[in-house]
Amino acid sequence: MLKQVGPTGREERAETAIRKREKWMLAKPPAILEIVTVEKMAERVLEDWAKAKGAGTSQQDFWKDFCAKYEGARKDDVEFVVRVIEDMITETTGSNGNKHPETKSWS
């Protein structure tokens, strides 16, 4: 699910994610914080985005509201979830970047 290209910023943080009892955890010494089941959260956020887009909400306004909803979360927790969502969106595109016919446009 997570693409690890090399030990730089994003990928380095992705390497700290470990799978434990069907939950993704972000390992951050000295504590390990449970995010949620990331796939479920990503699906939920994508559903919220589809509803917001249908209501005429811009992508920028949607992400602003999304980040405000998680205001108490550590910044890297939210960024981790957003990266997973971006990876899920990327997985729905073909190798040439075109969306599969059954996939809604997310941009």
Rounded mean pLDDT, 82-100: 60
Q: Is 106 a domain residue?
A: no
Contacts of 39-46 spanning 24+ positions with Cβ under 8 A: 39/1, 39/84, 39/88, 41/81, 41/84, 42/81, 42/84, 42/85, 42/88, 43/88, 45/81, 45/85, 46/85, 46/88, 46/89, 46/106
* Domains held by the chain: number: 1
The answer to the question of residue 98 being in a domain is no
For residue 69, is it within any domain?
A: yes
Tell me the whole-structure pTM to 2 decimals.
0.36
Confidence of residue 99 (pLDDT cuts 50, 70, 90): very low
> 56-86 pLDDT, tens per residue?
888 788 878 877 776 666 666 667 777 777 7
In a domain, 97, yes or no: no
Residue at 1 is within a domain: no
Note whether residue 55 is domain-resident.
yes
Mean pLDDT of 36-60: 76
Q: Domain range holding 84?
A: 9-91
Q: Is residue 43 part of a domain?
A: yes
